[in-house]
Amino acid sequence: MFKKWTLFCLLLSGLGFVSHAQVSMTLQVPPAGVLVKNQLWNMVLVNSGTGNLLVQVNLVLLDVQTNQPVITATSAPVSLGKGGRQLQARDLSPIQYSYSIPAAHVDMDPNGMLPAGRYQACYTVVNAQKTGLTLVENCIAVNVDPLSPPLLNTPANEDKLNTPYPQFTWLPPTPLGIFNDLGYAMVLVEVLPGQGKADAIQQNVPLNASPYTKNLFYNYPASTRSLDTGKVYAWRVVAMNSGKAVALSDIWTFRVTQSRPQFETEKPTPFVEVKRGQDAVIATAGNVLRITYDNAAADTTIKYTITSIEEPGNPVVQEGNMPVQYGQNQLQVSLRNNRRIQANKVYLFRFVNSRNESWTVKFTVTK
């Protein structure tokens, strides 16, 4: 009789264990459009057992290219009664995150953004009362893509250029918060007769060896063979994060024409970067001062002044306001109709942002 009762108790305990282990998980993470960490924790857990369970959810975010963990996270214990429970990040807080590679250090705020890339999110639900006994596991593909890819700026689509050495400019992808090491590869190819621009980008050998740059512009080098007249060229910008492609711009085309203006045109001066404080570097401007500015302060406008360094008292010769956006900006300040700005003299362009930081660049004018 004692043996029968012992066997009966063991069967009951076994049934009880199976009942508690019957947990299922339905992930509600969208495969695309994920931007913030909180979106990773949308799920439904169903406890088909008879009693309450105290569980934890562990997450590993794997880079699909390297199969290496980027982020690991552990939730706080959460109680599961019989039946289903809809869970979100606030139900599992506080969530402890750890970051495995530098690319993940984009935003270490638990409520912040995820780094751009292609990932496999793998979840493990464990029993918090039985030293991490695994109850259920599941994985899902997650793509963290920019809301907007790089936007091409100049030369315009189907434009006709008078120079065989053009400058290419573009705007950055957004939001910038998902990138920690943003750079660009600019691809320039010839479009052969009867070939579409997309096929040309994919199949033809780049004319510029796809240079990598962190700037928002690329000057076709004069040391390279000049672009030919009568031919069609296509170009595209690839946004890179830590050396990995994350977003593609549209493909635009242009031609180099044989026509020449009846008068000598002004050669566009390159963009120069404004810097905090002052240095000895003196840039060159024509009728337009072209500058780049990284607006980390997220200001919407800047108020600038241009002062003459060589005149007594350093008088202000021009001032004005310019709209800016968060992140990289390419600004053009017209100097064309200002008679107070004279050729071959040195001037100081300056503004102060909302953080009380002074940004300047010295320049001289060649008109």
Domain spans of the chain, in order of start: 23-144, 151-256, 272-365
| Residues belonging to the chain | 367
Paired sense of beta strands 43-47 and 83-87, if any: antiparallel
Question: What amino acid is encoded at 82 in this protein?
Answer: K
How many whole angstroms separate alpha carbon 82 and alpha carbon 50?
6
pLDDT digits (tens, 9 = 90+) for 125-145: 998 887 778 889 999 988 887
Percent of the chain with pLDDT over 90: 30
Q: Residue 234, class by beta-carbon neighbours within 10 Å (0-12 exposed, 13-18 middle, 19+ buried)? A: buried
Q: What is the pLDDT of residue 233?
A: 94
SS3 of residue 287 by DSSP: coil
Q: Higher model confidence: residue 65 or residue 46?
A: 46
| Banded model confidence at residue 15, pLDDT cuts 50, 70, 90 | very low
Q: Higher model confidence: residue 233 or residue 311?
A: 233
Residues 6 or more apart from 255 whose CB is under 8 A from it? 159, 160, 161, 229, 230, 231, 232, 233
Of 294, 356, 303, 312, which is closest to residue 333 (Cα–Cα)?
303
Distances (CA, A) of 31 to 58, 111, 112, 170: 19, 19, 19, 29
Looking at the domain that runs over 23-144, which CATH code has it been given?
Answer: 2.60.40.10
What is the architecture, at CATH level 2, of domain 272-365? Sandwich (2.60)
The number of beta carbons lying within 10 Å of the beta carbon of residue 21 is 17
Q: What is the pLDDT of residue 63?
A: 87
Token pair in block for residue 215: 């700037």
Q: What is the pLDDT of residue 253?
A: 94
Residue 12 pLDDT greater than 60, yes or no: no
SS3 of residue 104 by DSSP: helix
Sign, CA dihedral 207-211-214-219, equals negative
Token pair in block for residue 202: 């994919």
| Banded model confidence at residue 44, pLDDT cuts 50, 70, 90 | very high
How many whole angstroms separate alpha carbon 210 and alpha carbon 226?
16
Paired sense of beta strands 316-323 and 327-334, if any: unpaired
How many whole angstroms separate alpha carbon 353 and alpha carbon 356?
5
Residue 203 pLDDT greater than 70, yes or no: yes
Mean pLDDT for the stretch of residues 346-363? 91
The number of beta carbons lying within 10 Å of the beta carbon of residue 281 is 11
How many whole angstroms separate alpha carbon 197 and alpha carbon 219?
21
How many whole angstroms separate alpha carbon 335 and alpha carbon 286?
8
H or E segment at 21? helix 2-21
pTM of the full structure: 0.54
pLDDT digits (tens, 9 = 90+) for 219-268: 888 777 888 888 999 999 999 887 788 889 999 999 998 755 444 455 56
How many whole angstroms separate alpha carbon 188 and alpha carbon 233?
7
> 324 with 300: CB under 8 angstroms?
yes
CATH superfamily of 151-256: Immunoglobulins (2.60.40.10)
pLDDT digits (tens, 9 = 90+) for 75-119: 999 998 888 899 998 999 899 998 886 654 567 778 888 888 888
H or E segment at 118? strand 117-127
Question: Are 23-144 and 272-365 the same fold in CATH?
Answer: yes
HSE, side-chain direction, 13 A CA sphere, residue 97: 22
Mean pLDDT for the stretch of residues 147-168? 88
Distances (CA, A) of 42 to 22, 194, 291: 20, 50, 44
